[in-house]
Amino acid sequence: MGYPDVKQGHIVPATYLKAWTIGGKLVMRLVSAKDASYPKSPKKVGTRNRAYRRTRPGTGEKIDDVEASLQALEDRVSPLLHAFVERPEWPLPTEKKKKLAEFFAMQALRGADGQAWLEKLTRDFHAKIGLKRPIDTDKLTMMLKLSRSVTAWLCSMQWLLLEFDAPLLTTSDEPVVIWPLDANSRKATDLAPHFEFQPLLEIQIPVSPRLAIVMTWVHDSDKRFPGNRDLAATLNALVIGQADHEWYHRPGVDDIPRASGSVGPISPQLMPGYGPFVVEHSKLRKTAMAYVLKTLNRPLDDTTIEVAVIKEAQT
């Protein structure tokens, strides 16, 4: 089977960025140029040269089949994502939540930061067992396998939907923000943590200029909250602060809230009492981790995703 030659692969999908467009354009800002802004099609931003090209171990052939797999995922999720942005259904039915979780999981791994982390893991693995071959196939295979585990992890979490009355939210080429469990506060300039299953308090993901999802380990139903300017400032500070090269906002939005200095996590502001103690004693998290470990050992063609459900009330 032949695959199209992809010179510029998206590390953040155009279908996700569509929510920030007006008339087919969003505003791109470069991390390296604070005051410069560029109206762009989402198809022309968030790309890297040969982002997911790999070398077939047996023949040395260069192939873009992983790019095709990512496109297939985007095609499956796009109708749901766009419908959700237009009119959020909440709480999401499990199957729809699972689809979005799969999309977000891959986004956590496909960006520059996720790829750097996967490359280190792969190089360490090659060195440990003495493999001497290009790492690209093994790295991308690890990405595809881990994406299933991350999907189970994210879909098992409680999701909080933040809804804003105005298009205040930005996004970037690294839109999945992970809050470490042991951090009481962070600066936007702090290095973004790599994805780890155990030590995280919350995950923040802007979904559109008016919507964001915050994930927690509270054993309760998914909830929705009104957003405000302070929450938008925190979300924006972190998603811009961890941008690799670019961040984006909606055209015509000039007064963008963006916190300076240190910020705190969002979930304890919405649910007083939530913090590291709750996470460390969460039955939901422990059950999800068991599913994750099972997923790690499954072959690549096994796409089964199990979601943790705790029936009794968490104490």
Q: In this structure, is the dihedral angle defined by the CA atoms of residues 272, 276, 281 and 285, taken in order, positive or negative?
A: positive
Provide the residue type at 6 as one letter: V
**155-186 pLDDT, tens digit each:** 999 999 999 999 999 999 999 999 999 899 99
CA distance 88 to 66: 31
pLDDT value at residue 311:
61
Q: How much is the average pLDDT of 25-32? A: 96
Q: Helices 136-156 and 112-129, interaxial angle, to 10°? A: 120
Of 100, 74, 72, which is closest to residue 13 (Cα–Cα)? Answer: 74
Mean pLDDT of the chain: 92
**220-268 pLDDT, tens digit each:** 999 999 999 999 999 999 999 999 999 999 999 989 999 999 999 999 9
**46-82 pLDDT, tens digit each:** 999 999 999 998 888 999 999 999 999 999 999 999 9
Q: Is the pLDDT of residue 313 over 60?
A: no
In terms of C-beta density within 10 A (0-12 exposed, 13-18 middle, 19 or more buried), how is residue 200 classed? Answer: buried
In 3-state terms, what secondary structure has residue 40? strand
For residues 249 and 32, the model is more confident at 249
Provide the residue type at 193 as one letter: P
CA distance 34 to 223: 36
Give the strand pairing for 200-208 and 211-216.
antiparallel
pLDDT value at residue 297:
76
**103-140 pLDDT, tens digit each:** 999 999 999 999 999 999 999 999 999 988 899 999 99
Give strand ranges (E) for the chain.
8-10, 26-30, 37-40, 47-49, 54-55, 62-63, 158-163, 171-172, 177-180, 186-187, 200-208, 211-216, 223-226, 246-249, 262-263
Give CA angle at 179 (175, 181), nearest 5°: 160
Of 238, 214, 77, 116, which is closest to residue 157 (Cα–Cα)? Answer: 214
For residue 284, give the H/E element and its range: helix 283-296
Worst-scoring range by mean pLDDT, 12-21, 32-41, 159-168? 32-41
pTM: 0.94
Of 33, 124, 20, which is closest to residue 81 (Cα–Cα)? Answer: 20
Q: Is the pLDDT of residue 315 over 60?
A: no
In terms of C-beta density within 10 A (0-12 exposed, 13-18 middle, 19 or more buried), how is residue 129 classed? Answer: exposed
